[in-house]
Every structure is written in C-alpha cells, then in structure tokens.
Amino acid sequence: ILYLYILYIYTQYNKCIYCICIYNSSMRMSSATQTTLDPDEMKRFQSLASKWWNEQGEFAALHAMNDLRVPFIRDNLLNLSGGRKLGCPLSGFKILDVGCGGGLLSEPLGRLGASVVGIDPLEESIQTAELHKSFEPVLSKQVQYRACLLEDIAEESRQVFDAVVASEVVEHVNDLETFIKCCLDVLKPGGSLFITTINKTNLSYVLGIVVAERVLKIVPNGTHDWEKFINPVDLERLLESNGFCVESIHGMLYNPVSGSWSWTKSTSLNYAVHAVKQKEQPQSDF
C-alpha cells in the first residue's frame, strides 16, 4: 500500500509542477490587470519545458489523463450543442486551454476540429508546444499558442470562447474567485468551463503533504499548499456565485501500477467539473 501511495504522490507532483510556476504567487490583486509571478518558481521549472512529450517521463500521468479529459470535454460540448459531426466533432468550437504547457491537451482537441488557443507563462513551454505542433501540419490552423496569463486574455478577448479548460491548475491559484471571473469574462454566454483538480480532504493532506514532503521527502517541501486545495462543494458554490451553473462533478482515480485513469464515484482525491456560463448573468443589488 505504501508503494502505491509513493507512486501516487510522484504522479501528483509531476502533474502539478508546471502549474505552480503559473499561479503560485500570482493573482493577488483587486483587478485582473495586477498580477505577480514568482521568478524563483519560473526558474525552478524551466528545465522541464523540453520534457513535455516524453510519455514515460515526468508528465506520464498527464498523458494518461487525456483518456478521460478529452472525451469529457468533447462529449459535454456536443451534448450542449445538440449536434454530432463525423470526423471533426468539435469543428466550430473555440477553446482556451489555460496552463497548456507543451500542448498535451491542446493538440488532441485540435485534432477533433476545435480551434484551440493554448496559453502558458513559460516561453520555453510554448516553444516546445510550437515545435511539436510543427510535426503535424494539420494542427497549424487548429492550434495557436501564446506565452501569457489568463488575465491578459480576459482583458482583450471577452465572450470569445465556447469553452475554457483549466486542468490541474486551480489548486495553485491564490485568488480562485478572480481566476473564475476571468474564465467567465472570456466565455460566450452558455460557454463551458472544464476543471480537473485535487480535493481538500484528510487523505490528500496525508498523501500530498505529510508523506510526500515531510516523511519520504520525495517532493520538495512547500510544493503543495493544502489550504489551496478545494473540495467539490466549495468549488461548486464559488462557481455558482460567479455566474456559472455546475452541470456535473465526477471523481477520478489514477492507478500507478497500470498508469491509467478511470472514473469513480469517489471525489476524495481527484475530480473533474463541468460548469456552464449562465446566459443571463444575475444582477447585483449594488
């Protein structure tokens, strides 16, 4: 059991390291235009930028997660639109992939016909994404990458996207409500927000903080801040108080032996959320 725990923590660490540099000390702000990145975190993970497409390397768990998250995004978008298109089922959909890294999720969405904009603050990761995209010319028109933050997009592209994807990102956001508001700003009315993240439970604390960082020391101390984890109930409440309607929440389970993900009824560790921007935003009393 301990061996499985160690493998689980190792994969959780590799899933989140690229996200830490994005939002670890960012979004401490009163408006979406004030953002501070931690330069130490940026430098710390720049060396990983060239390793995105090693399916057996540091990001193996993220590669495997595509087996769940790509169909999750595709099927929910098609169910909302009420249409099915052979060959390129997501043709006509414009998707923003926040924290895209090397494009692990952007590319398969592009292959399904979506017009994808992947954003990441690390220029090195964007260069890796661009290089890998060049090996598949059909993606040149479907996928575009930018080295920037979500709030940069929110300033210039309001109500542009049909969907926003934030996979393994929100647990590293200091101001989650501002992050959600930025997602709302860039989405069209009726647009979808897809989130995958880690629950805030005793189990996630034991595995992610105590065992990994303090006992086994296989993860640098301070990698996870358990206070930033959020449980599904609180995330749903936050989403619905900021103009979203939560459509579904599903538990996710990683098997470190087989290296595969599966859906589960339990949300005690990982979970996925699909929320939809309300077409008529609630009016403020002030």
From the CB of residue 76, how many other CB atoms can be counted at a distance below 10 Å?
Answer: 18
167 is in an annotated binding site: yes
How many separate helices (H) and strands (E) can be counted in the chain?
9, 8
3-state secondary structure string across 21-41: HHHCCCCCCCCCCCCCCCHHH
CA distance 101 to 124: 9
The class (CATH top level) of 38-198+228-277 is alpha beta
DSSP string of 48-109?
GGGGTT-TTTTTHHHHHHHHHHHHHHHHHHHHHHT---SS-TTTT-EEEEET-TTTTTHHHH
Q: Show the CA angle centred on residue 12, arms to residues 19 and 24, nearest 5°.
A: 25
Cβ neighbours for 219, distance < 8 A, ≥ 6 positions apart: 9, 10, 13, 212, 213
Cβ(165)–Cβ(96) below 8 Å: yes
In the DSSP assignment, the letter for residue 244 is E
274 is in an annotated binding site: no
What does the domain layout of the chain look like in residue ranges?
38-198+228-277
CA distance 286 to 112: 44
Helices (H), 206-248: 232-240
113 is in an annotated binding site: no
Residue carrying the six token digits 């300033």: 155
Cβ(168)–Cβ(19) below 8 Å: yes
Q: Tell me the backbone φ, ψ of residue 80, rounded to 5 degrees.
A: -70, -40
118 is in an annotated binding site: no
214 is in an annotated binding site: no
Q: What is the pLDDT along the chain (286 residues), one digit of tens a residue?
A: 554 455 555 455 445 444 444 444 444 344 444 443 445 445 555 666 788 898 887 778 889 999 999 999 999 999 998 877 778 999 999 999 999 989 999 999 999 999 999 999 889 999 999 999 999 999 999 999 999 999 999 999 999 999 999 998 888 787 899 999 999 999 999 999 999 998 999 988 887 678 756 776 644 466 568 888 999 999 999 999 999 999 999 999 888 778 899 999 999 988 999 999 998 765 655 4
